[in-house]
């Protein structure tokens, strides 16, 4: 552990404090202060969902990786783009609601374009049908973005393109997860897309607090769909 790295307990306190923020404004203010330490804190927690997203996409994408336009929704500091770059992807467009997180992403020089957008209130600032890949890692939960965002992601993807999303399995997220999976099935029944893979991941974080269950990690799912 480097001298600048914070302890597990201090990072868990940060995560617990974030979950205590109920309003959108409070969350944005929290991310303003957390952005600088965000990446190193997730390393301490053992966060690995960005790697699972990159692996899922890489396993099913057959086109020109360098030319493919990847829309990274709720991109944060760019963790997914970092992993996908290792797999040969180069053209990233990032969208996030927090300017401080976007500044951290910009420093990594991964993105062709970065746009601020509040996902619950505004249309995504990307032309319809312009993206070969759309990824959204970590934001589909009861305390973040509603399930209606799925159809927005679908609209932005090219026919034949891939949409990859994650959802955690923690107890407070079970009703949200059920609604999410119902919408995924509905869109499949409507022939909007077809399921490629759904991967169950046992570990979301190495250490996590959920409803007092200190240290327990409930894992999550990685959903990969192809637009028809």
pLDDT at 208 over 60: no
Q: What is the model's pLDDT at position 216?
A: 62
Report if residue 215 sits inside a domain: yes
How many percent of the chain have pLDDT more than 70?
Answer: 92
Q: What is the mean pLDDT of the chain?
A: 90
Segments forming the whole domain that contains residue 137: 48-227
Report if residue 43 sits inside a domain: no
E strand or H helix that includes residue 77: none
Q: What is the model's pLDDT at position 206?
A: 59
d(CA 121, CA 207): 32
Report if residue 33 sits inside a domain: no
Report if residue 169 sits inside a domain: yes
Report if residue 185 sits inside a domain: yes
Q: What is the CATH number of the domain that holds 205?
A: 3.40.50.150
Q: Are strands 131-136 and 220-227 parallel, antiparallel or unpaired?
A: unpaired
Q: Which residues, other chains included, contact 126 with Cβ-Cβ below 8 Å and sequence gap of 6+?
A: 71, 93, 95, 115, 156
d(CA 158, CA 144): 26
Q: Which residues, other chains included, contact 20 with Cβ-Cβ below 8 Å and sequence gap of 6+?
A: none
pLDDT tens digits along 134-148: 999 999 999 889 999
Report if residue 89 sits inside a domain: yes
pLDDT tens digits along 49-88: 999 999 999 999 999 999 999 999 999 999 999 999 999 9
pLDDT band of residue 210 (cuts 50, 70, 90) is: very low
Least confident of 41-50, 106-115, 178-187: 41-50
Q: What is the model's pLDDT at position 50?
A: 96
Least confident of 14-18, 47-51, 197-201: 14-18
d(CA 139, CA 142): 9
Q: What is the model's pLDDT at position 222?
A: 98
Least confident of 19-23, 50-54, 180-184: 19-23
Report if residue 36 sits inside a domain: no
Q: What is the model's pLDDT at position 211?
A: 41
pLDDT at 21 over 80: no
Angle, helix 24-34 to helix 99-107, in steps of 10 degrees: 30
- The domain total for the chain is 1
Cβ(39)–Cβ(78) below 8 Å: no
Report if residue 30 sits inside a domain: no
């Amino acid at each position: 552990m480097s001298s600048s790295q914070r302890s597990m307990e201090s990072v868990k306190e940060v995560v617990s404090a974030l979950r205590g923020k109920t309003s959108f404004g409070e969350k944005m203010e929290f991310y303003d202060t957390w952005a600088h330490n965000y990446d190193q804190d997730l390393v301490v927690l053992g966060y690995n969902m960005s790697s699972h997203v990159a692996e899922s996409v890489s396993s099913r994408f057959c086109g020109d990786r360098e030319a493919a336009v990847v829309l990274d929704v709720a991109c944060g500091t760019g963790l997914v783009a970092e992993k996908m770059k290792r797999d040969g992807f180069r053209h990233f467009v990032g969208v996030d609601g927090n300017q401080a997180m976007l500044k951290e992403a910009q420093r990594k020089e991964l993105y062709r374009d970065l746009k601020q957008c509040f996902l619950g209130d505004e249309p995504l600032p990307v032309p319809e049908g312009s993206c070969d890949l759309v990824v959204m890692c970590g934001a589909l939960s009861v305390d973040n973005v509603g399930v209606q965002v799925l159809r927005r992601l679908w609209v932005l993807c090219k026919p034949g393109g891939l949409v990859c999303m994650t959802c955690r399995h923690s107890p407070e997220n079970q009703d949200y997860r059920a609604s999410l999976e119902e919408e995924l099935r509905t869109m499949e029944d409507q022939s909007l897309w077809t399921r490629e893979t759904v991967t169950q991941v046992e570990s979301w974080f190495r250490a996590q607090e959920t409803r007092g269950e200190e240290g327990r990690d409930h894992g999550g799912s990685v959903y990969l769909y192809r637009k028809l």
